[in-house]
Amino acid sequence: MPKIKKILVANRGEISLRIMRTAKEMGIKTVAVYSEADRLSPHVKFADEAVCLGPPPSNQSYLLGEKIIEVCKELNVDAIHPGYGFLSENTDFARKVKDAGLIFIGPSPESIEVMGSKLAAKQAVSAYDIPLVPGTEEAISDISEAKKVAAEIGYPILIKASAGGGGKGMRIVENEAEFEEQMDRAISEAVSAFGDGAVFIEKYITSPRHIEIQVLGDQFGNTVYLFERECSVQRRHQKVIEEAPSAVVTPEMRKAMGEAAVGVAKACNYYGAGTVEFIVDDSLNFYFLEMNTRLQVEHPVTEMITGKDLVREQIWVAEGKKLSYNQEDLTINGHAVEVRVYAEDPCNNFLPDIGTLETYKRPQGPGIRVDDGFEEGMKIPIYYDPMIAKLITHSENRTAAIEKMIRAIEDYKITGIQTTLGFCKFTLEHEAFTSGNFDTKFVERYFKPEVLDPVFSVEEKELLSALAVEFFAASKGKANKKDETVDAPKVSAWRKRLDH
């Protein structure tokens, strides 16, 4: 059995750090790679060795697979962990890693290939008893044929890129009149974003929940599921808040979904950690969406409720160890919630915000975990995903985990850049969320920029109290004059003053 002694993490930011922390605990040496934009990043400082790959754009740095393999050879690295995004689901890279005699900490190139294509994935699982969203099984090649299928399924339908990911490459078609135009757009988007124009039709489930199952398999055919994650709070088809377990999944449903997920994993001879995503309709029927053949952004909520370190498990499986437990040994302990802290402005359509982390203070306390890759004073580079951090809380039940999260959000101090923290607090306090009665339409249905309480920094609070004193003195003066009402200054006006 190969014992891994040195791992190169082919990624950046929070996930790179998170992986290296576990490696260090296991006595494994770490190598970081970085682009010129990330020279001062914590992941670079944390590693035993670090190598600059090139200029900031990903295609000149983090996506340079061959260069990364060269670095491994020079530094005597024996395994590569790809994290998520970048090269993590790239079959060609996984193959080259293997051919170079290195261990790829992930599944086989064959599993990545099958599941990397949503169409191939559906075909692969069709031999198993796994419910699929109604739709076409092959790429659309004939428009009139496709229209017929769409009419049979019933509008609205979704046109999806087979190679899609990250919430991109999907178009909703409300009726037949829009079909051709939306299909042309979907194809051209798919070609430009994924280099593959294959698109297919899926029934558009109007108000679904997104619930996924974490699976873990070894190289001897043993596969377990580590329960579900509810990821229905999304913007742009991308998750912002996740939790485990889900508020609506019963033990029977958990078992059925878990077994279906294990079936999906078996359909592609999967080993390592992976995620099987399902869409759940309002009658709690679940349908297979896709499988992500990597560590998922939201994996910490599963770690909190199962007590398993998924990166450690990945490394053990990659070394050829057998799983040391079976399904019956796994239990759910308490409840965990994760919010993704993105450098985005929720009041401006969640568009990425640029700037410097002028204040950056993490919340603390029992049951609070922050996975991040930045320090105070750092700029958020524009070249990559705008996620600053993941904030995770764990407690004995859902209510307590949510309460802890609200407190943690209030104690998280970030200035200099807009973030999704205020939006997340709004969501966690919303009746639809606390009752568990929500779906992927949460943002559309309930969120308006006006609902956000401004979250103030210490300096802002000091200035606000000074303004309040000023206002109080002024209002006393005015109160002596008759027929004059006193308007409280609007917070937005105060903010303006603070910003200039």
Classify the C-alpha dihedral 311-116-207-128 as positive or negative. Answer: negative
Partner from ligand ADP, Mg ion, none binding residue 297, C-beta < 5-8 Å depending on class: ligand ADP
Please say whether the beta carbons of 90 and 257 come within 8 A.
no
**Amino acid, single-letter form, for residue 419:** T
440 binds, among Mg ion, ligand ADP, none (CB under 5 to 8 A by kind): ligand ADP
Considering CB distances under 5 to 8 angstroms, the limit depending on partner class, which of ligand ADP, Mg ion, none binds residue 402? none
CB of 216 to ligand ADP, least distance (A): 16
φ/ψ of 466, rounded to 5, equals -65, -45
Which two three-digit tokens encode residue 425? 């607090």
353 is in the binding site of which of ligand ADP, Mg ion, none (Cβ under 5 to 8 A by kind)?
A: none
To ligand ADP, the closest distance from the beta carbon of 254 in angstroms equals 19
Nearest approach in angstroms of CB 165 to Mg ion is 7
Nearer to ligand ADP (CB atom), residue 208 or residue 494? 208
CA atoms of 150 and 172, how far apart (whole Å): 12
* Identity of the residue, 48 or 281, whose beta carbon is nearer to Mg ion in the bound complex: 281
**Interface contacts to ligand ADP, rule CB under 6 A:** 84-85, 133, 158, 164-167, 202-205, 208, 210, 234, 237-239, 277, 279, 289-290, 292, 296-298, 385, 440
C-alpha distance from residue 322 to each of 5, 26, 219, 316, 325 (Å):
19, 17, 7, 8, 9
Burial of 349 (0-12, 13-18, 19+ CB in 10 A): exposed
In the complex, the smallest distance separating the C-beta of residue 377 from ligand ADP, rounded to whole angstroms, is 24
**Which of these, 219, 138, 217, 149, lies nearest to 179 by C-alpha position?**
149
| Interface contacts to Mg ion, rule CB under 5 A | 277
**Rounded least distance, CB 194 to ligand ADP, Å:** 6
Which one of the listed residues 18, 171, 235, 294 is annotated catalytic? 294
Task: Tell me whether residue 28 or residue 337 sits nearer to ligand ADP (CB atom).
Answer: 337
Q: Choosing among ligand ADP, Mg ion, none, which partner's interface includes residue 85 (Cβ < 5 to 8 Å by kind)?
A: ligand ADP
Query: Which amino acid, one-letter code, is at 8?
Result: L
362 is catalytic: no
Question: Of 166 and 221, which CB lies nearer to ligand ADP in the complex structure?
Answer: 166
**Closest to ligand ADP by CB, 104 or 494:** 104
**Active site (catalytic) residues:** 294
